[in-house]
Structures are given as C-alpha cells and as structure tokens.
Amino acid sequence: MHHFHYVSHTLFCEEVPLSKIAEEVGTPCYVYSHATLVHHFRVFDGAFSSVEHHTCFAVKANSNIAILSLFGSMGAGMDIVSGGELYRARKAGIPAKKIVYSGVGKSIQEIDYALSEGILMFNIESFEELERINERARELGLRAPIALRVNPDVDPKTHPYISTGMKKNKFGIDMKFALEAYEVAKKLDYIEIVGVDCHIGSQLTDVAPFVEAIGKIRELVNELRRRNIDIRYVDIGGGLGITYDREEPPHPMEYAEAVLNAMRGLNCCFILEPGRVIVGNAGILLTKVLYTKKTPTKKFVIVDAAMNDLIRPSLYNAFHAIWPVHLDPSKEEEVVDVVGPICESGDFLARERPLQIQAYGDLLAVMSAGAYGFSMSSNYNSRPRAAEVLVRGRDYEIIRERESWKDLIQLERIPKWINL
Ligand SMILES: *Cc1c(COP(=O)(O)O)cnc(C)c1O
C-alpha cells in the first residue's frame, strides 16, 4: 500500500502533483510519502503489539534524519551498522537505549562512541570482536551489553549479495560455535550478555526461512538458559520483502504470526529490525527525460537520474517499475532501456521495458525507491547527490537539499607543491 496514484492521468504523491515538485525542486529528486511511512511503521509495529518488543528501524535502508525522527516520534528504536548511523540516530532524537548495533567491522572509535552513548546492545559477530569490546569497556570503565549474532545457516532464497545467514557469508558466528562463544562471553568481566541475534538476509518473500532460523535460535536460547545464561532479548533481524514487480511477500501480520508462533512460550523481549518493508514503497525517484536515442538494436530513454542516484538495478539487477508522471492514453508503448548519463554500460534504471513513448522534458517516477535508494547514492561522475522531499498531504518539505558543485570539492585540497 502506498500513496502514489494517478488523478486524471497525472501522478500524485498524496495530494501533491509530482510535476509541481519537479518544477520547484528540480530533478533528479527523491520523494517520500509521510502517510505511507506512518502507515507502514504502524502496521509493522502493531503486528507485534501482543508481545514486549522494540521495532528498531534499519537505518541503512533510509538514513535521512527527518525520516528517523518521524519513526522515533512513533516509538521506534534503530538498528545501526556504523558510528555515522549512531550519530544520525542520536541527532534525530532516538534514545540510545533503543539502539542496537550490528556489523562485522566495528572500529575502536565506533565502539567507544556506542559505549559512551549507552546503547541497548552490541550485536557481536566474532570471537575477536567480543574480546575487543570487552577491552574497550574496561578502558572506559563501563559494561557492554551484548548479543551474539549467530549464523543459523538457512537459505533465504534471495539475491546472493543480500543473503547473510548462510555458512559461506561473512556474518555472525557459526551455530556450532555459538555455545562456546557465550561461555567465553560469560567469563569476560566487562561484557554483559543480554540477548541472541540473527539476521538472515533481505527481500525475503516467504516466511519459511524465518521460521527455520527461529527454530534454531529458540533451541539455542533454551540451552543458554539451562546453562544459567540469562537471555532477555531475542533479535530476529529484518529482511521482510516488498513488491517491486510481481513478488507476493507475506503481509507483516502474516510474518508476525509466523514469527510469534515459532517463538511461543519463549519469555523475552523481541527486537525487530525492519528496513525495506517500512520505507521501500514509501518513496520514488523523480527524473526527467533528457534525450531519446535509437540504435540498430535498441531504443534508449536517457534520463537525468543515474546509477549514482539509484544503484540497485546495476548492483543487483533489481527491478523498479517506471511510471510516467503524465499518462497519455493516446500514446503507444515501446520497449526501451531507461539509462542515465553516467559513463558505464551498467548505468541503467530499467532494461527492455515497455513504456509510453517519451520525449525531452517528460517526467518519470522510478517506483519503490524509498529503501537503499538515496542511502546508497554516491557522487560518481561528480554528480551532486539528489534532493530529498517529504510530502505530507497538500504540502511538502525539502528534507535534504540538492548538493552543489561546490559541495563536491569542499573537502579536497591541492598541495602547495603543485604549481599550475
Ligand atoms: C540490512 C539489515 C537489516 C534490514 O534489512 P531489510 O531487508 O531492509 O529489512 C536489518 N538488520 C541487519 C543486521 C541488517 O544488516
């Protein structure tokens, strides 16, 4: 469900025509719907209302502080994977006690920052990290609350780049060594064991792999409790998929039911780390046609957004629907590649896609771009990053200004010994 819809052949976000935003803010530009964000968060969080839980939004999916702050105002915590994300979350007003910290490569500087802020827990991914965090906590005279991220070795049946819970992935501690790792953790003076964590991948469209992973987690929690290791939090990660094309992922209610059923009787506080399912379909990338071009084998529509703005098609061969902002029922469709201005053949937003005939100045909406869109964008080809806009009813606000050419070189210096 989202709030991007046509009103007499013109595409609106809530009550604002996208053409108005293109005119006033320019393109390319990310546009998010406040009503959709709120609805998605409420539905997901509400699905777990029968149990004690924290919904910790995965900051990497969409890191704009306005959006983090919006979720915070609805009670959300955050799942972070870097010191930068912790900084964002805190600036957005999220209490440290609702922040969990995942990731295989936490630096000393990041660990110290998270310890001094007093986060809810570190999700630890290796024996060495356990030792490192113990050391840093001792240094700072604090105790580090931790969960071990275990790798349950289940196949999430998603793109290999975004599957994280299989034996061959870099994430988590192998199930076989989990008990040993908890025994080690128990003996460390500056570590306080508070939970168990897993996250098996992203864009899952079936509940079965979640249920399989939870079965293994549940056994582990029971065994830990038998060994007098107190487990208060069970973090089952994120990963619920969305509809980009024809996928039929489970509804959050269905997901919650399956998860809660698999966890029944396990007395603990659940932590959920949804990202994509909350923000994915709440945002679009608005772009303008620059040129059309025919080659002997193809038709290209060249737009002003590119792989630096939205890398998912290039990186994962991901599908994003493309909707014309103005529908013209009299126009025919033709099969085109929608590509950006970047000097790479991998720079495309859609391939072999039927689309109404386009011309210079026409606007297109690249749908389902709210997750892993702007947050993965870069300055490649020295392209200033796009603006971000949040629509609410009849109004909108710019929540991130478009970068300027000056911004591009802001941090660069020419050494004095280069004489031009
Ligand atoms: C990326 C990530 C998430 C969010 O994944 P989604 O598929 O966007 O829900 C949650 N937890 C961890 C540890 C992650 O790395």
* 182 Cα to the center of ligand 1, angstroms: 23
Looking at the DSSP bridge assignments, the partners of residue 388 are 30, 400
3-state SS of 359-383?
Answer: CCCCEEEECCCCCCCHHHCCCHHHC
Q: What is the CATH number of the domain that holds 340?
A: 2.40.37.10
Choose the residue to mutate in 54, 79, 124, 161 for probing ligand 1, maximizing ligand atoms within 8 Å of C-beta: 79
Task: State the Cα–Cα distance between residues 306 and 377, nearest whole angstrom.
Answer: 10
- When divided into structural domains, the chain yields a total of 2
Tell me the backbone φ, ψ of residue 48, rounded to 5 degrees.
-110, 15
Domain that holds residue 348: 4-31+280-408
Q: Are residues 247 and 368 in the same domain?
A: no
Domain boundary among 226, 260, 276: 276
Same domain, 153 and 197: yes
Cα–Cα separations (whole angstroms), residue 267 to 195, 223, 233, 270, 351: 12, 14, 9, 9, 49
Q: Which of 227, 244, 276 is the last residue of a domain?
A: 276
Q: Which two tokens stand for residue 309?
A: 């703005």
Residue that terminates a domain, selected from 246, 276, 306: 276
198/332 same-domain check: no
Q: How far is CA 212 from CA 215, 222, 240, 258, in A?
A: 5, 16, 15, 11
Residue 383 pLDDT:
98
Which one of 40, 60, 80, 375 would you pick to mutate in the ligand 1 pocket, going by the greatest count of ligand atoms within 8 A of its CB?
A: 60
Given this model, what pLDDT does residue 366 score? 98
Is the same domain home to 284 and 296?
A: yes
Q: Indicate if 226 and 375 belong to the same structural domain.
A: no
Q: Is residue 419 part of a domain?
A: no
Active site residue 198: no
Question: Residue 159: what pLDDT?
Answer: 83
Instruction: Give dist(CA 24, CA 144) in Å, integer.
Output: 48
Q: Tens of pLDDT along 27-79? A: 999 999 999 999 999 999 999 999 999 999 999 999 999 999 999 999 999 99
Residues 147, 286, single domain; the answer is no
385 to each of 16, 114, 303, 318, 369, how far by Cα in Å? Answer: 23, 29, 15, 21, 15
> Are 22 and 62 found together in one domain?
no
**197 shares its domain with 225:** yes
List pLDDT tens digits, range 354-373.
999 999 999 999 999 999 99
Q: How far is the CA of 240 from the centre of ligand 1 (A)?
A: 9
What per-residue confidence (pLDDT) applies to 351?
Answer: 97
Lookup: tokens for 162: 């975004």
> Which residues have a Cβ under 8 Å from the Cβ of 316 and sit 6 or more positions away?
159, 161, 162
Q: What is the pLDDT of residue 348?
A: 98
**Whose Cα sits closest to atom 3 in ligand 1?**
238
Whether residue 201 sits in one domain with residue 186: yes
242 Cα: distance to centroid of ligand 1 (angstroms) = 13
Residue 40 lies in a domain: yes
- Domain presence at residue 413: no
**Confidence at residue 113, expressed as pLDDT on a 0 to 100 scale:** 98
Given 29, 198, 269, 343, which residue is catalytic? Answer: 343
**What pLDDT does 265 receive?**
87
Cα(375) to centroid(ligand 1), Å: 13
Tell me which of 62, 199, 205, 210 to substitute to probe ligand 1's pocket, judged by most ligand atoms within 8 Å of the beta carbon.
199
- Residue 186: inside a domain, yes or no? yes
Low-confidence ranges of the chain (pLDDT < 70): none
Lining residues, ligand 1, CB within 6 Å: 58, 60-61, 79, 81, 102, 199, 202, 237-240, 273-277, 371
- Is residue 418 one of the residues assigned to a domain? no
Q: 103 with 245, same domain?
A: yes
How far apart are the CA of 305 and the centre of ligand 1, in A?
26
